[in-house]
Structure formats: C-alpha cells, structure tokens
C-alpha cells in the first residue's frame, strides 16, 4: 500500500459525471477534479448524430444508465433506421428484452454482433455502452501530466435494479431501499465492495466489473472497488458540510436531474425518506412532500400513486413538534434551485466548498468505512 493512497471517485449522474482524484495527505481543495458530460449524454449525442446521418447503430458493452441514451436509441429505431443491441446493452432500455424489441430495436446474440463487427459495414456506428470509462479518464489525466494510477476506485450510480417481469421498477427499487435502511439506517447502507454487489443491481455490478480493470501503481495489488447509490452518496457528502453535520435533527434533500431523494435524520441516522422524479415536482409540490416527511405523515402509497418511488418512516415522530419552526433543511444536487425562495429556508450544502462533488465526498466516506486500510 502506498504511503499516500489515491482514490478515484466518480459520481455518475444523468447530466454530468463528477470526478475527484483524491490523494491522502493532500488538502482536499488541491485534489484534482473534473465535471464532465455523463456517459448516457455522450452516448445519446452519438446516436443522435447517427440518426441525423441515417446510419445504422450497433450497441454492445454493458448495462448502463438509461434516460437520454435509451430515448435516443428508441428514437433512432422509430425513425426507421436499424438499431442493433446485444442483450446486456439492450437492458439499458428495459430489463425485459421483449419490451426493448417493442421499441424497434433488434436484440442480437453476442456472436451475431461479433460477426457484424468482423465484416464491418462502413456506415455502421458501433457504440460500446458503459458507465465507467477508465480509458477516457486516464487519457484526460495524462493530457495534463497526471499519473492516473490509483489504489481505490469508487463509483456512484443510480440503479433501479432488475425487477422481475410484471413488477414495477419503481416499486422494486424502493422495496430494496427500504430493506437496506431497515438493516442499517444510514447512507453507507447503500455502499458495497465491488465483489459484494447484490445480483439484481445490474448497473452497479457492471460498473464494478469495469472499474476492476483500472490500473494501479506498479507492483500494487489489484485496484479496490467500492460502488454506491447516487442519492445516498450525496447524503453522505452533504454531512461533510460542518453546518449540516452539527444538526442533531435535519432534512437533507438531493435534487438530481432525474430523481429527488430526501432524508429525515435524527442523531445521524435515517428516520424517514422518500424518492420521487424531479421532473414531476415543482416547488410547491416538493415543499409539501418535505413538510410531510418532517412531521412523519408522508405515506408510501401516496408517493407511488403520484408516480414517485415511495416513502418510508422508521421513526414517525415529527422532527419539528407542533408549535416549533420547520426543521433545518439542507439541499444539494444540480436541480436544487427548485427550492430557491422556498418558505422552508433551505441551506445549500457545500461540503469542502464544492456542491458538485458532494457525491464524490460521500464516496470517500464509504471507502474509509469499507476499507479502513485506505487511511
């Protein structure tokens, strides 16, 4: 182990991927950081370019975050242009491959894709799907004379989980969240060593598999991998802000580009939480959810019926008892302006002075918890 072990922490969102190269013993403000387009955005842009040119597309690689890239693949196929995908790549759009084909894509066996690539059509656009692109990160760091080798790689990503046929992926994800929080009511319940990712978290498992191939310093053991859910990473990172950490009771809301995950904390532990789709929330509606979360009345079925994921209360006691002011509310995430001007007086959390790296700071906390030898 190096005397100054290094951690590559990457928070993969829908809009950006936020990258921190942390070196023990160095002031965290002097550690290198990058805010880059998310992998799903980069793939979506390349599919859109192929659509504009009328060229066929072949998707291979692993299951990754959907959203923009999934919509672009669907739009390409529905515009009348061929879009082929291997099973793992196709599951980016839907775990049920029949539903992928219903959107117009053709799912190929891996050997069929290999034959296509062995006798390539000059017009074919081949895209390899993955959330963790170690080669691209290494290239970027080397361009600035930075040694990219690390001992630890930590990645946060949002994973719905592979829901069985006929089961709502919203319901499936939230049931898994509830089970984990009941076992361990803090953000690090959602962090896993790379080899210990549950089988149904297919996106995180794919990330861990790619991250294991990242280079380590000469002579070092294989890279140690930690993966985590994005919302939980943001919560753990927000608690690095001393203003937030000093509160015995508070709410912390991560308002992401696609999902909002909010927690009620008591004594550093999760008392309650809810998850919803950011695009379905305006300020008034989000305030209503946060008020109900604080007073212990937010109902799981209500959130699900309103197209969210769900709500859970382990401790339904109000954070702000009757007659008291609303509890302290910390917000983070790229869409936190949704609460700008709110009567709830939100505090914009800035762990180590940088909101965009909140998830990366949460990942560092997870590495320190799971791998004490990191120092």
281-305: per-residue pLDDT in tens? 999 999 999 999 999 999 999 999 9
DSSP 129-150: E-S--HHHHHHHHHHTT-----
User: Which residue do the tokens 């793939």 mark?
Assistant: 43
Token pair listed for 23: 């070196």
Can you give the pLDDT at residue 321? 66
Whole-angstrom distance, CA of residue 330 vs CA of residue 265: 11
Rg of the Cα atoms in the chain:
21
Beta bridge partners of 129: 61
DSSP 97-126: HHHHHHTT-EE--HHHHHHHHHS--TT-EE
Backbone dihedral angles phi then psi of residue 261, each to the nearest 5 degrees:
-125, 120
- Residues in the chain with pLDDT values less than 50: 1
Can you give the pLDDT at residue 5? 87
Token pair listed for 101: 């084909």
Encode 153-191: b = buried (16+ Cβ within 10 Å), e = exposed. bbbbbbbbbbbeeeeeebebbbbbbbebbeeebbbbbbb
Look at residues 5, 28, 25 and name the one whose alpha carbon lies nearest to residue 358. Answer: 28
Contact indicator for 132, 207 with CB cutoff of 8 Å? yes
Whole-angstrom distance, CA of residue 96 vs CA of residue 167: 11
Query: In 3-state terms, what secondary structure has residue 110?
Result: helix
Beta bridge partners of 61: 129
User: Which residue do the tokens 């937030």 mark?
Assistant: 244
Can you give the pLDDT at residue 1? 45
pLDDT, tens digit, 9 for 90 and up, residues 119-162: 878 999 999 999 999 999 999 999 999 999 999 999 999 999 99
pTM for the structure as a whole? 0.93
Can you give the pLDDT at residue 322? 63
Spatial neighbors of 324 by CB under 8 A, at least 6 apart, are: none
Whole-angstrom distance, CA of residue 182 vs CA of residue 271: 10
């Amino acid at each position: 182990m190096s005397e100054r072990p290094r951690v590559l922490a990457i928070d993969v969102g829908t809009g950006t991927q936020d990258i921190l190269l942390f070196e023990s013993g160095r002031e965290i403000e002097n550690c290198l950081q990058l805010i880059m387009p998310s992998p799903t955005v980069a793939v979506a842009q390349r599919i859109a370019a192929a659509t504009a040119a009328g060229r066929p597309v072949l998707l291979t690689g692993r299951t990754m975050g959907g959203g923009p890239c999934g919509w672009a693949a669907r739009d390409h196929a529905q515009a009348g242009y061929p879009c082929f995908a291997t099973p793992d790549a196709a599951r980016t759009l839907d775990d049920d491959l029949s539903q992928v084909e219903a959107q117009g894509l053709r799912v190929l066996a891996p050997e069929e894709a290999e034959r296509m690539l062995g006798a390539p059509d000059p017009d074919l656009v081949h895209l390899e799907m993955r959330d963790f692109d170690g080669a691209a990160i290494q290239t970027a760091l080397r361009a600035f004379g930075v040694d990219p080798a690390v001992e630890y790689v930590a990645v946060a990503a949002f994973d719905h989980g592979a829901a069985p046929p006929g089961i709502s992926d919203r319901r499936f994800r939230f049931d898994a969240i509830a089970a984990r929080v009941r076992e361990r009511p803090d953000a690090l319940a959602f962090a896993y060593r790379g080899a210990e990712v549950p089988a149904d978290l297919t996106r995180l498992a794919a990330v861990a598999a790619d991250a294991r191939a990242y280079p380590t310093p000469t002579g070092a053991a294989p890279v140690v991998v930690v993966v985590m859910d994005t919302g939980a990473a943001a919560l753990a990172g927000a608690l690095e802000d001393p203003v937030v950490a000093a509160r015995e009771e508070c709410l912390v809301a991560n308002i992401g580009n696609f999902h909002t995950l909010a927690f009620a904390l008591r004594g550093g532990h999760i008392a309650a939480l809810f998850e919803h789709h950011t695009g379905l929330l305006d300020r008034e509606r989000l305030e209503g959810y946060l008020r109900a979360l604080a007073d212990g009345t937010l109902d799981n079925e209500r959130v699900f019926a309103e197209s969210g994921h769900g709500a859970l209360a382990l401790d339904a006691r109000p954070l702000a008892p009757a007659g008291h002011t609303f509890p302290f509310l910390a917000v983070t995430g790229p869409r936190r302006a949704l609460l700008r001007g709110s009567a709830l007086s939100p505090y914009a959390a800035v762990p180590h002075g940088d909101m965009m790296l909140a998830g990366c700071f949460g990942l560092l906390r997870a590495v320190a918890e799971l791998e004490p030898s990191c120092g």
